[in-house]
Amino acid sequence: MKQAPFEAAHGAEWQAFERFLDAPGGAAPPFAPVEMPRRYRRLCHHLALATDRQYGPELIDRLNLLALRGHRALYANRRRQSLRMVDFLLVAFPSLVRAEWRVVTVAALLFYGPIAALIAALQVYPEFVHYLLHPSQIAGFHDMYDPANPRLGMREADTNLAMFGFYIWNNVRIGFQTFAGGLFAGLGTAWYLAGNGLMIGAVAGYLTQIGYGDTFWSFVSGHSALELTAIVISGAAGLRLGLAVIAPGNRSRKAALVAAARPAVRLMYGAALMFALAAFVEAFWSPLTAVPYAVKIGAGMAAWGVLLGYLALSGRAGAAR
């Protein structure tokens, strides 16, 4: 193709690309920003064709300049997105958890209360576990946390990668149920928080009572900070929705839900990341039996300290600016 037909075929596209780059912040761009990567790739392709076909230097210089400007605009935007993500993790998320301390506290009581109560009760009344767990479940926990098991918390056929996928799915399920339960006036959230607390407390209390405490606590210590805190934060997000349903104030329930969903969804963003990290630790660190008990417990305590310090302190300077 000669240069004139080439310019006629693609000139409008180049002009639109140039107008997009020149458009002021408040002006409507000639195409949606989501199209920018695809149009940038097409422009680079046109530049390569023009260079290969030895078109005029003015056209090549024009396309080259547009490509350079497009590259700066595209990757500057990606850097801004990365910076926004870092800002969310280091400032916005922990600040939001602190700002929502009331619902976080209620969620923590609903979740940790049954855990503590069951662990204590089963040390005195171990047979009570049969009211909460099916015999097949109890037998499965015996196998997974038997001190003779070379991979704690796992069965013989399990692999680390398969368990990572299972833990991701399980954590997403728990988080979604706890969050979405808030739409039922917060009752669903309270149910899932207390129910998961009862289950965890029953397993922890029973295994501790029968003498499997070292294997059980060495397994859960590494990922417990991330996973349990993520459940509480999911519960806080669900309770925030529930409050909008039962006490919308001067707004309609729809408007109150929309307003409550903004902080609730942001809480869930952070909880989702914590669930994913917890699943990774649970699959690849927690089952290790070669690591001494004291090291795993120490690592778990350190994880709790770092996480609580992060939620309590991170972002305070950023919030004050």
Does some domain include residue 91? no
State CA 222 to chain mean position distance.
18
- 308 φ, ψ (degrees, to nearest 5): -65, -35
Residue 143: domain span: 100-320
Residue 321 pLDDT = 41
What's at 312, amino acid-wise?
A
Task: Enumerate residues 6+ apart whose C-beta is below 8 A from 236.
Answer: 97, 100, 103, 104, 106, 107, 267
User: 306 and 187 in one domain?
Assistant: yes
What letter would DSSP give residue 89? I
Does some domain include residue 94? no
Residue 79 pLDDT = 65
Does some domain include residue 90? no
| Cα separation, 49 vs 60, whole angstroms | 10
- Contact (Cβ atoms closer than 8 angstroms) between residue 158 and residue 143: no
User: 268 and 134 in one domain?
Assistant: yes
What's the Rg (C-alpha) of the chain?
27
pLDDT surpasses 70 at 77: no
pLDDT surpasses 50 at 320: no
User: 290 and 257 in one domain?
Assistant: yes
Domain end, chosen from 84, 116, 143, is at 84
User: 166 and 23 in one domain?
Assistant: no
User: 143 and 51 in one domain?
Assistant: no
Residue 36 pLDDT = 86
Does some domain include residue 22? yes
**Helix, strand or coil, per DSSP, at residue 37:** helix
- Contact (Cβ atoms closer than 8 angstroms) between residue 193 and residue 256: no
User: 11 and 36 in one domain?
Assistant: yes
Taking residues 62-66, report their average pLDDT: 92
Does some domain include residue 180? yes
User: 305 and 230 in one domain?
Assistant: yes
pLDDT tens readout for residues 126-182 = 999 999 999 999 999 998 898 888 878 776 557 888 889 889 999 999 999 999 999
Residue 315 pLDDT = 83
Taking residues 208-216, report their average pLDDT: 95
What's at 153, amino acid-wise?
G
Residue 161 pLDDT = 84
**How many structural domains compose the chain?**
2
- Contact (Cβ atoms closer than 8 angstroms) between residue 118 and residue 202: yes
User: 311 and 250 in one domain?
Assistant: yes
* CA-CA-CA-CA torsion sign (299, 305, 308, 310): negative
User: 68 and 133 in one domain?
Assistant: no
User: 243 and 141 in one domain?
Assistant: yes
Using alpha carbons, select from 267, 237, 230, 260 the residue that is nearest to residue 94: 267
State CA 142 to chain mean position distance.
31
User: 282 and 203 in one domain?
Assistant: yes
User: 78 and 202 in one domain?
Assistant: no
pLDDT tens readout for residues 93-133 = 999 999 999 999 999 999 999 999 999 999 999 999 999 99
Regarding predicted confidence, which is higher, 17 or 109? 109
Does some domain include residue 50? yes
Residue 27 pLDDT = 66
CA atoms within 13 A on the CB side of 75: 5
Does some domain include residue 316? yes
Does some domain include residue 30? yes
